[in-house]
Structure 1
Amino acid sequence: MTGKRTFTTLCCLLVFRLITAAQVQLPVYPDSLFSTYYQQRATHFKTLPKTAGDIIFLGNSITDGAEWSELFGDCRIKNRGISGDISAGVIARLPEVADRKPEKIFLLIGVNDLSRNTSPDSVVKNIMLISNYLHEKTPATKVYVQSILPVNKIYNKFGTHTGKSTQINEVNQALQTAADKSHYTFINIHDAFCGVDGLLNPELTNDGLHLKGEGYLLWKHLLYPYVFDLGMKPSLMPLPQSLKWQSGLFPFYSCSSVIAGKGLVNEANVVEELLKVNGAYSIDHDSSAHKPYIELKLTKIKVPQHAEEAYRLQVSENHVTITANTAHGIFNGIQTLRQLLRDNVMLDACDITDWPAFSWRGYMVDVGRNYQSVEQLKQQIDIMALYKLNVFHFHVTEDIAWRLAIKQYPELTKPENMLRDKGQFYSVDDIKELQRFCRERHIEFVPEIDMPGHSGAFKLAFHVDMQSDSAMRILKDIIREVCETYRPAYLHIGGDEVKISNAAFLPEICRTVEQYGVKAIGWSPGGNVSANTIRQLWMKEGTVNKKIKYIDSRHMYLNHMDPLESVTTLFYRMIGDVPTGNDSVLGGEICLWNDRAVNRQEDLLTMNPVYPAILTFAERSWQGGGRPGWTAAIPSGDTSAFDNFKAFENRLLDQKQQHFKTLPFPYRKQQNLVWKFYGPYSNGGNQEARFKPELDSLVKDSVSFTAVGGTLILRHWWYPLVNGLITNPKENTTWYAFTKIWSDTDGYKNCWIGFNNLSRSYATDTADPGTWDGRGSAVWVNGNLVKAPDLKFAGRKGNLESPLIDEDYEYRDPVKINLKKGWNTVLIKLPVGGFTAKDSNNPVKWMFTFLPF
């Protein structure tokens, strides 16, 4: 950091000037002004390869001293610190930095300038010049200017630096004030490094100027949200019922002590694994006040409802305490702890008291139609646990295949009795492993044997109808084996979508299940299950009998949902039409029914919005609330409802960044896209007819309404049960949607574009070659028509045995749209003919998706 005084104050004062045409001109310095080490580093930087998406840390020895890419675990981060550098040195090498067009630049410079008695005002002007130059040369680059760190004379070193506290404060205040007009984001890291006396904390340095390892960990914690575009505080999901942020940080990096009460071995092991991942080589059980520790403790905490899952989490500077009424509550608190620990370094002090609104918060997978490996199922269960879902519903038998091994009847799982994924099934060991995996995560494992419907595989194996007397004897054997082998608390018996020819069938099945001490669940609407069977709603409106217990899954089938729509729908959903659970409405389940065959099991998670939906449903089922009715639209006209969605979406995307970097997560921010809608124009059945918005680039017609989002549904195929944007949609009409999008640079940008998001449960026809859909929809960017994608199987007749490949935007390559620097116009044409579907596999869902990223 300390260079020779050949760097003159004059050099620093020359630099702040703008020339004509608002272009920023940098001064030229002779190479002799810079040290040998500076030349070594600067020339080395020039020879390094250019890479896309770089995050550059620019500064002096304090920056130079860190292994940034290792610290953040991100190879995009490049260290461009040079020991001894001053602001003039940064300016001299700035063109090389700008030429790389990095994604972000983090600048920390100035203390060496001050040590040479350069005025604070000159330092600030130099930094403003740096930022203005970067803004001009690489406008898409985000520039972050960090405050100069505090110093301390305690070690009697670097006297010309450590006596500049007043000047440092003056520079920092001026940098904060100048941020907006100079195109940078100011980050105050100074205060966090101060001790009680306002000087650099002696524990973070050994010379009063430079940082020790602990100092760099603190720095990482402070910059983490800026590096990864996260909220300033950890974005917890589901949002706790009571959350109070407090001052102070808990040093998780130096914690190796877990104190756990009796009966919390499993939960203590979870915390110990977190510590080990973070570098703790051995775990002790000492709560000494001289070192940080984590305590898990069973005690009485009072909450309004569902106390068995409630917890309190308190984080202070020297300890973390999780208290709860049960081990399940402790486990829930640990999941919140995991989310607080987003940088694996420190925890922000806080006080959280939390409990769920609903006791049943489930996720169902259909493995009968499409087999999933135990490994992939565990992946989904792990995500469920992190977000506090507590029921894993395992639909394991279907017409296509029976995938549950039954020792007494091995013919059920023979390949010749399966129509898809032949020979793939779950052994006793597989099921017990899934049960164990769920149990460790306090998730209820609920198997489903669908009876008497969806039983084609059963009939193929035994050549008898399920409702026959002979089949009943077989089913009783199967129920006995399942109940005695796995001892589930619940067994789902299906009971839907079948003509009941034997009125005694379902009551007898329910009695058989219940004689083993197992609670029966059946679909509703369905057959004549017994009165004490839990109903799982899948279609009918509302609950019809307060004496019966219900689980709500209506309009929560992920296989029918567009990814962006799924988050909107589930976020605003009022589960069971009540804000919180009660004795009748236990809660809800989202369901994955992928009727259509897939090429590979991963497609189930790519083609369906599984993870965005799990997180959204976890939020709603834990928090409660929601809005009456079912909607696919963001209610942007309701300020409070829209603000709630925006805050939630920001947290959702933070979670995506944190936990889904290697997992499919088909969702992107849509809150900032505002559309003006023009219409309706009567097209008289001619969907190619053109109207004013298409003919006049200025779009002079009056705006009919505005809407927000990336996916906009004018009329849902389940209208009027599900509300779209148009209150009273008319056949043979055309609408137009118009918006403007900003681009920092000229060039091509990725964009999701689609007009008919196909259900994964219908045998829907693929759009004809050269078209977006069958309605004549179109999109123009800056007046230029955007070509529809060349689909591999364009014009193909729908077939459930023909896997989807590239039919929808979320699992095909994004469209490249050509944008100019500044504002760009987007016009969408949305004609429709009749609303009557040509068949059940091709419902009319009048919609579009347009979302640049």
Structure 2
Amino acid sequence: MFADNRVKNRGISGDVSVGVLKRLPQVAAGKPAKVFLLIGTNDLARNIPADTVLQNIFRMAAYLRRESPQTQLFVQSILPVNAVFGKFAGHTGKGAQIKNINTQLQQNASTYKYSFIDLTAAFANDKGELAPAFTNDGLHLTGQGYALWKHLLYPHVLGLEPKPALIPLPQQLKWNPGYFRLQGANNIVVKKKALRPEAERLRQVLSAKGVTATIANTAPRNEPYIQLRLGKVKAPQNATEAYQLEVTEGKIVITANAAHGVFNGIQTLNQLIRDNELVDACHITDWPAFAWRGYMVDVGRNFQSVPLLKQQIDKMAQYKLNIFHFHLTEDIAWRLQIPKYPQLTAPENMLRNKGAYYSEAEMQDLIQYCRDRHITLVPEIDVPGHSAAFTRAMGVEMQSPGGLALVKEIFTHVSKTYDVPYIHIGGDEVKITNPEFLPAITKLLHQLGKKTIGWDPGGNLAPTTVRQLWMTEGPRQPELKYIESRHLYLNHMDPLESVTTIFNRRLGDTDKGSDQVMGATFCVWHDRNVLKEEDVLHMNPAYPAMLAFAERSWQGGGYPGWISNINPHAQTQLAAFRNFENRLLNHQQQYFTGLPFPYAAQSGLNWQLLGPYPNEGDITKAFAPEQKGFKPEKAALPAVGGTVVLRHFWHPLVTGVLENPQENTTWYAYAQFWSEVSGPKKFWVGFNNLSRSYNSDSPAAGTWDNRGSAVFLNGKPMPPPVWKRPGQKGNSEIPLLDEGYEFREPTIGNVRQGWNTILVKLPVKSFKGTDWQNPVKWIFTVVPLGEE
């Protein structure tokens, strides 16, 4: 029923506890990750005393603990029985003994170090007997009973939250008793023609889960069904995207004010259907805090194929993002076909991925692909900056009179060819030599019925052009509209830091969107060349960050400032992050198999930061924490997380854990973790996490970084990687290979059974890098990874 080759059935019909004991060595020899045990009914039918059954189960727990200590044991309560059918009297007459054993199993779980799973509450009627709905003989389960059993075990088998982990978390969610049986739901009821595309989408969702459904105008009598309907859903903002989702035992109803809301409800329903059997009863009323929830990819520098783009668009849709910002032109290359000017996309005028561009047909296909998923594609043609490719192709500089005429002609063609409401014109990182250039472009686009967006800080944009913030702080002008992208650039972020930062971000310095603050867009800029297109997703934490951004942009809220670390002092904030991280890890396992998803559990890592120790510029100098037998006293400073930023290279705008970091000092970080077994273990270890936009140097041979950082596991140094390009001087055309812990093989360290210690040495000399391409980001990452 699990359709998972990792799940092995070792049960035997008619077996008793002694039989399990005799076969247990064969199971333990395989060192399984988990064992699920349910035994005892047949023992009692043979009049084996309850105490004997209990002792046999306790012996099983002790044996597994001794022979395979890393195995998690889950002991299930013995299922209730019911004598009403008059069958299997020897079994169904043992209800009292079953209750007694289950009570003892629950009470002794901590003593024998197993997890107890209570099945009785779900399977019993109000008399404590096996409910007739789940059996036809009082002992054995029907198909419906097995579906419920799978549903109850599913989160334990896969290590998931007890209830489906929803991202983004709905604004209002109430779990109710009962379940909707998915496999009996063969009818999708929809009356409005406008919702037929959504009904067809839901039909495809159900088909992928093994349910063949038909779309009908009316609900069938006495059969379960799923209904999609338009109705009044009250929401404080963004009502067109709001929805209600009601799951009961007999039906599932999604109600929304518009088709977009129904689509959003289907995405939530898809997450509720996690075991393909039962859907937990619940009531959800939901709406987004921000109307603009965007994701930007830069294909000007590194081309991405249409299938890879569609993969990302599908994930956007799954998490209710609704803006695909498509950065098409750069100094490196112009990627959008303009039929009148084929030289723009000619190979000889591109510096990378020569000859790779998007045809008009491909662009139309992407626009429609987004529209089908209620996503607006926003093309960006960056003018007048980032335009060296244009100059190479056309032979004129954009801000010249001839260049302006050509650009106006191109924008006219783009506007008339593509049905998109917005066109992003860039406008940043350029010296404005023609003050009439940007006003002329925006005037033209507005006359052509397009809305415009430009970067801020940037050039002299029109008052009606939406500003997309990318750097500076400061007051906003009340007459302008804004999109937040500050501190949302993944190319500058460590993977673990990205989730922490984005989850904590207070987008646009406000709790929810308004006429002035439309929302936010997080961005993947990868300035450096890559060996293959997928490296952009391997080296930038696009998918983990997407989930954090989806949560924050939908939920709203957040915390003031630019935060790069988990805050150990704010318990409510820490609890909220841990709750989100658990859901994130669930989604990593369920929905990102085979996709790059650089994230590992980090909120349980507690550090003691010891220092500062003055090193007088000698980064090799050792201090007390490195001495044998050193026992750290009360922490000078607590920290939490797999990645800890002591001082960001944008300090003090982005805060690290040190309020007043000092040059020529050494800090140490100390932590402990438990291992059930001794032997080799995988770790993520890193001290640099090079930005993918700076041309930073690779570490020298035999070092972790150029600051003298080191890490000790149980008092022994962990050697740095054998770098593929040690000491490589930064160069935008030389791709990164293994410089980041998330895209190289994990470090292997030998752990011991029981408690293990990690000591991280963190010296620093100057906060000023050798040049602007090598900024000093005082940071470390050490994460013991879970077993695969």
* Cα distance in structure 2, aligned partners of 1:188 and 1:698: 46
The 5 Å alignment of 1:771-790 reads 771-790=703-722
* Cα distance in structure 1, aligned partners of 2:223 and 2:49: 43
Counterpart amino acid of 1:656?
Answer: Q
SS at match of 2:598: coil
Which residue number corresponds to residue 315 of structure 1? 247
Which residue number corresponds to residue 143 of structure 2? 213
Counterpart amino acid of 1:739?
Answer: A
Instruction: Give the CA deviation at 1:132.
Output: 1.5
Instruction: Give the CA deviation at 1:432.
Output: 1.0
SS at match of 2:8: strand
Which residue number corresponds to residue 104 of structure 1? 34
Which residue number corresponds to residue 344 of structure 1? 276
Counterpart amino acid of 2:182?
Answer: F
Deviations 1:152-203 (A, max 9, x none): 3344322211122222122112111111111110111222223455432334
> Which range is displaced more, 174-183 or 150-159?
150-159
Which residue number corresponds to residue 650 of structure 1? 582
SS at match of 2:578: helix
Q: Is the 8 Å Cα contact of residues 391 and 445 (structure 1) preserved in structure 2?
A: yes
User: In structure 2, which of residues 386, 395, 403 is the aligned counterpart of residue 471 of structure 1?
Assistant: 403
> Which range is displaced more, 478-487 or 389-398?
478-487
* Cα distance in structure 1, aligned partners of 2:188 and 2:128: 33
Counterpart amino acid of 1:495?
Answer: G
* Cα distance in structure 2, aligned partners of 1:83 and 1:401: 67
Deviations 1:817-839 (A, max 9, x none): 10010011111100000011111
Which residue number corresponds to residue 98 of structure 2? 168
Go from structure 1 to structure 2 and tell me whether the alpha carbon gap of 1:700 and 1:202 turns closer, same or farther (over 3 Å shift): closer
Which residue number corresponds to residue 688 of structure 1? 620
Deviations 1:548-604 (A, max 9, x none): 000010011001100000001001100011111111111111000000111111111
Which residue number corresponds to residue 212 of structure 2? 281
Instruction: Give the CA deviation at 1:306.
Output: 1.0
Instruction: Give the CA deviation at 1:623.
Output: 0.6
The 5 Å alignment of 1:641-790 reads 641-700=573-632, 703-790=635-722
Which residue number corresponds to residue 300 of structure 2? 368
Gaps of 5+ in 1: 1-70
Counterpart amino acid of 2:580?
Answer: F
* Cα distance in structure 1, aligned partners of 2:696 and 2:601: 28
Which residue number corresponds to residue 571 of structure 1? 503
Which residue number corresponds to residue 265 of structure 1? 196
Which residue number corresponds to residue 534 of structure 1? 466
Counterpart amino acid of 1:225?
Answer: P
Which residue number corresponds to residue 571 of structure 2? 639
Which residue number corresponds to residue 482 of structure 1? 414
Instruction: Give the CA deviation at 1:212.
Output: 2.8
Which residue number corresponds to residue 460 of structure 1? 392
SS at match of 1:225: helix
The 5 Å alignment of 1:418-457 reads 418-457=350-389
Q: Is the 8 Å Cα contact of residues 605 and 671 (structure 2) preserved in structure 1?
A: yes
> Which range is displaced more, 680-689 or 168-177?
168-177
Which residue number corresponds to residue 42 of structure 1? none
Go from structure 1 to structure 2 and tell me whether the alpha carbon gap of 1:588 and 1:543 turns closer, same or farther (over 3 Å shift): farther
Instruction: Give the CA deviation at 1:542.
Output: 3.7
The 5 Å alignment of 1:500-539 reads 500-539=432-471
* Cα distance in structure 1, aligned partners of 2:756 and 2:370: 50
Counterpart amino acid of 1:222?
Answer: L
Counterpart amino acid of 2:27?
Answer: V
SS at match of 2:111: coil
User: In structure 1, which of residues 299, 322, 325 is the aligned counterpart of residue 231 of structure 2?
Assistant: 299
Q: Is the 8 Å Cα contact of residues 190 and 215 (structure 2) preserved in structure 1?
A: no
Which residue number corresponds to residue 77 of structure 2? 147
User: In structure 2, which of residues 154, 157, 162 is the aligned counterpart of residue 232 of structure 1?
Assistant: 162
* Cα distance in structure 1, aligned partners of 2:438 and 2:411: 13
Q: Is the 8 Å Cα contact of residues 227 and 254 (structure 2) preserved in structure 1?
A: yes
Q: Is the 8 Å Cα contact of residues 185 and 213 (structure 2) preserved in structure 1?
A: no
Deviations 1:606-658 (A, max 9, x none): 11100000000010011111111001111111111111111111111111111
Which residue number corresponds to residue 597 of structure 1? 529
Q: Is the 8 Å Cα contact of residues 199 and 215 (structure 2) preserved in structure 1?
A: no
* Cα distance in structure 2, aligned partners of 1:652 and 1:94: 35
Instruction: Give the CA deviation at 1:543.
Output: 4.2
Identity of aligned residues (%): 55
Instruction: Give the CA deviation at 1:120.
Output: 2.1
* Cα distance in structure 2, aligned partners of 1:345 and 1:662: 24
Which residue number corresponds to residue 767 of structure 2? 835
**TM-score normalised to the size of structure 1?**
0.91
Instruction: Give the CA deviation at 1:509.
Output: 0.5
Counterpart amino acid of 2:605?
Answer: L
Counterpart amino acid of 2:104?
Answer: A
Runs (4+) of structure 1 moved beyond 6 Å?
none
* Cα distance in structure 1, aligned partners of 2:620 and 2:474: 42
User: In structure 2, which of residues 3, 16, 21 is the aligned counterpart of residue 91 of structure 1?
Assistant: 21
Which residue number corresponds to residue 54 of structure 1? none
Q: Is the 8 Å Cα contact of residues 678 and 702 (structure 1) preserved in structure 2?
A: no
SS at match of 1:81: coil
Paired positions, count: 783
Q: Is the 8 Å Cα contact of residues 557 and 592 (structure 1) preserved in structure 2?
A: yes
Instruction: Give the CA deviation at 1:308.
Output: 1.0
* 2:83 is the counterpart of 1:133: no
* Cα distance in structure 2, aligned partners of 1:234 and 1:703: 37
Instruction: Give the CA deviation at 1:739.
Output: 0.8
Deviations 1:52-102 (A, max 9, x none): xxxxxxxxxxxxxxxxxxx11211111111111111111111122212111
Q: Is the 8 Å Cα contact of residues 771 and 788 (structure 1) preserved in structure 2?
A: yes
**TM-score normalised to the size of structure 2?**
0.98
* Cα distance in structure 1, aligned partners of 2:737 and 2:39: 51
> Which range is displaced more, 541-550 or 788-797?
541-550
* Cα distance in structure 1, aligned partners of 2:306 and 2:276: 29
Deviations 1:410-430 (A, max 9, x none): 111111110000011001111
> Which range is displaced more, 209-218 or 810-819?
209-218
Counterpart amino acid of 2:82?
Answer: N
Instruction: Give the CA deviation at 1:284.
Output: 4.4
SS at match of 1:215: helix
Which residue number corresponds to residue 317 of structure 2? 385
Counterpart amino acid of 1:760?
Answer: R
Go from structure 1 to structure 2 and tell me whether the alpha carbon gap of 1:700 and 1:177 turns closer, same or farther (over 3 Å shift): closer
Q: Is the 8 Å Cα contact of residues 542 and 577 (structure 1) preserved in structure 2?
A: no
Q: Is the 8 Å Cα contact of residues 493 and 521 (structure 1) preserved in structure 2?
A: yes
Deviations 1:407-458 (A, max 9, x none): 1211111111100000110011111111111111111110000000000110
* Cα distance in structure 1, aligned partners of 2:580 and 2:633: 35
Go from structure 1 to structure 2 and tell me whether the alpha carbon gap of 1:701 and 1:207 turns closer, same or farther (over 3 Å shift): closer
Instruction: Give the CA deviation at 1:671.
Output: 0.8
SS at match of 1:181: helix
* Cα distance in structure 2, aligned partners of 1:755 and 1:225: 35
SS at match of 1:134: helix
Counterpart amino acid of 2:54?
Answer: V
* Cα distance in structure 2, aligned partners of 1:768 and 1:254: 62
> Which range is displaced more, 631-640 or 539-548?
539-548
Which residue number corresponds to residue 822 of structure 1? 754
* 2:480 is the counterpart of 1:548: yes
Q: Is the 8 Å Cα contact of residues 612 and 666 (structure 2) preserved in structure 1?
A: yes
